[in-house]
């Protein structure tokens, strides 16, 4: 298991108000990739719990990097069958800051940004919020391409998924 120093990671917690039985501890590592922006894209998640690991990946033929980053986090959360305590690691400031800071303001502003423009990827932000709801999630940012073993793994899986979409051999 790798450790993350405080200089390369930040965290915040989103906690569900639902009462549940003791939740399972899960680590989720996520990443998205896009070959061109927009272009063919891929996303990946690595779930670690109870001494086991599970890899998830997918993609789309014409998308953006931000959408793939969001889908990676969404897929990690939706891939869990019961409420969990999750440490979710992403190298996307867009995902981390969006879920921690921007989402509440967007909701209160009728899904408009501070300058009155519609929020990009509103469909995925709503889906991410719903996927996080049953869980207690601590959101961590890690520097991408810095040797973080799990981040490098999901980066590779996301790039492979994007390349499969580019070549026409869907994952």
Give catalytic residue positions: 31-32, 69, 91, 145, 155
Residue pointed to by tokens 């390349």: 163
Tokens of 83: 């409420």
Q: Cα separation of 67 and 124, whole Å?
A: 7
Count of residues for the chain? 171
Percentage helix, strand, coil, to 5, in the chain?
Answer: 35, 35, 30
Q: Cα separation of 52 and 21, whole Å?
A: 21
């Amino acid at each position: 298991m790798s450790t993350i120093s405080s200089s390369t990671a930040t965290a915040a917690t989103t906690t569900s108000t639902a009462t549940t039985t003791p939740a399972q501890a899960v680590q989720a590592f996520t990443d998205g990739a896009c070959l061109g922006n927009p272009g063919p894209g891929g996303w990946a998640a690595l779930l670690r719990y109870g001494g086991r690991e599970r890899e998830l990946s997918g993609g789309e033929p014409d998308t953006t990097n931000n959408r793939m980053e969001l889908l990676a986090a969404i897929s990690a959360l939706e891939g869990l069958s019961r409420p969990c305590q999750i440490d979710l690691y992403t190298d996307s400031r867009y995902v981390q800051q969006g879920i921690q800071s921007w989402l509440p303001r967007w909701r209160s502003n009728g899904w408009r940004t501070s300058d009155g423009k519609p929020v990009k990827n509103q469909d995925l932000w709503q889906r991410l919020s719903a996927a996080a709801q049953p869980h207690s999630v601590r959101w961590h940012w890690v520097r991408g391409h810095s040797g973080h073993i799990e981040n490098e793994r999901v980066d590779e899986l996301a790039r492979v998924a994007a390349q499969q979409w580019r070549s026409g051999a869907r994952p």
